[in-house]
Amino acid sequence: MDSIHPSRPDADQQRKHLETELEQTETDNPKADITIGLVPSPDLPEALANKLAKNLPDYLSNYTDDQVTWEVITVTDPLTGATADSDELLEETMHCKDRFEWDYAVSITDLPIFLNKRLVVAEASQKRRSAWLSLPALGGTPILRRVQEGILQLINDMYNGSSEEPPKTQAEKSRKKQQGKRRWKMKGAKDLFSKRLFDLLSPIVRTTPDADYEVDVRYTIHSKIHGGWRMLTGMVRANRPWTAFPAFKQVIAAAFTSGAYGLIFPTLWQLSNALEPFRLLLLMVTAITMLSVWIVVVHGLWENTVNAKSPYIARLYNVSTVFTLMVAVTMYYITLFILFFIAVIVFIPGDILESQINDKVDFSNYITLAWLASSVGTIVGALGAALESEDTVLNTTYGYRQRRRYEESRDDDNNE
């Protein structure tokens, strides 16, 4: 019996098909000419970097150089979120660049960085091909777009040099590509940080230090008053107060139980009708402040400024912690108010409420009653209640995160 062999034309066809697929794969995934490494600290910077990594190569092609292929890689490093020293941060960024064999590296930290008591937004070193960006200095405005602008700015400074204008050919190409599209308000490399309200009050100043050869470009905030407000709102945003809200479930339950019990008695109804809006507002602020202070004291969130390495930084951490908790507690208060408003609408008939307060009842009576019940419930029931997850609340404070990241970076060094 003759043996059966595959026909030669079929084998050639298969080989040609495989070669075509390989060529197509190489075309779809070209080798990058320049690799950019993003080195965010954990938490918010990491989340932002992961979102930016996908679209950043296209922006780099549009605004930096479209003659090369860009690749963006993200590697989280705890130390970039543990050190507030600009030199150490730049050194760690360069270390990551060399370790992973990138062409350029940009660190993103959620710590405020100061130089001679001035808030620093970012620094770039053309020699080291490394740069860093501080989130708190960008303020509490929509942060994703600002970080994207900042990274492009820093890469431009390192790639095209620290001159005031990018290459004219690339600037012209960028304008043509963006015709008819939503584009950024920029005229040159120094204007990639587009102007917003915060920048009018506390403008970002671009300087090229002469004495410090390691840093070619530095961006600082010179206004101490408006810069302080920008920094504080940026620090609160970096703390992500909304992540602490799930820890308030037991507090909400305790406050709602206490307030609901008070709604049984007509005294609370009469009081809500007698109090002016100013007194209700004052009672709400008092309840929110008392609960915030209670959480700080019970969970040990206050930083010791006496023995701190930098008392000024420790005080900043304490202020940002208080404001962060007040935002989280305000979210809790709004939730409690909604629950009480539903309760009074469902369970308190209008005619009974009218007979107790000896006045006509309208929609505003239910609002003031729910408002008063929320404040009373917070003061009577919430104070003394424990948060469901202490680690969740601790993670929204700078001091705790910084200490945790130092431990993580030491563990990483020991494992290497």
% residues pLDDT > 70 (the chain): 79
Q: What pLDDT does residue 31 have?
A: 54
pLDDT at 199 over 90: no
pLDDT interval class at 265 (50, 70, 90): confident
Q: pLDDT band at 206, cuts 50/70/90?
A: confident
The region of weakest confidence among 190-194, 205-209, 225-229, 313-317 is 190-194
CB 65 within 8 A of CB 170: yes
What confidence tens digit (pLDDT) does each residue in 235-244 have? 888 888 888 8
How far is residue 389's CA from residue 248's CA, in Å, rounded to a whole number?
Answer: 8
Q: Which residue has the tokens 């009480």?
A: 340
pTM of the model: 0.78
pLDDT the model gives residue 186: 46
pLDDT score for 411: 59
Q: Give how far Cα 137 sits from Cα of 44, 334, 410, Å.
A: 14, 29, 27
Q: Is the pLDDT of residue 45 over 70?
A: yes
What are φ and ψ of residue 68, in 5° steps? -125, 165
Asked if 78 and 42 count as a contact pair (C-beta separation under 8 A), the reply is yes
> Is residue 237 within 8 Å of 140, Cβ to Cβ?
yes
Alpha-carbon span 388 to 252, nearest angstrom: 11
Out of 4-8, 27-31, 270-274, which region has the weakest mean confidence (pLDDT)?
Answer: 4-8
Looking up tokens 């100043």 gives 205
Predicted local distance difference test score (pLDDT) of residue 67: 86
- Give the model confidence (pLDDT) of 151-187 as tens digits: 998 998 898 875 555 444 444 555 555 444 444 444 4
Q: Return the higher-pLDDT residue of 306 and 139.
A: 139
Question: Which letter does DSSP use for residue 381 in this model?
Answer: I
pLDDT surpasses 60 at 246? yes
Average pLDDT over residues 126-146: 87
Q: Which residue has the higher pLDDT, 120 or 400?
A: 120
> Which tokens is 282 given?
């004052």
Say if residues 78 and 409 touch (Cβ distance below 8 Å): yes
Among 226, 245, 47, which residue's Cα sits nearest to residue 135? 47
Angle at 148 between CA 147 and CA 153, to 5 degrees: 95
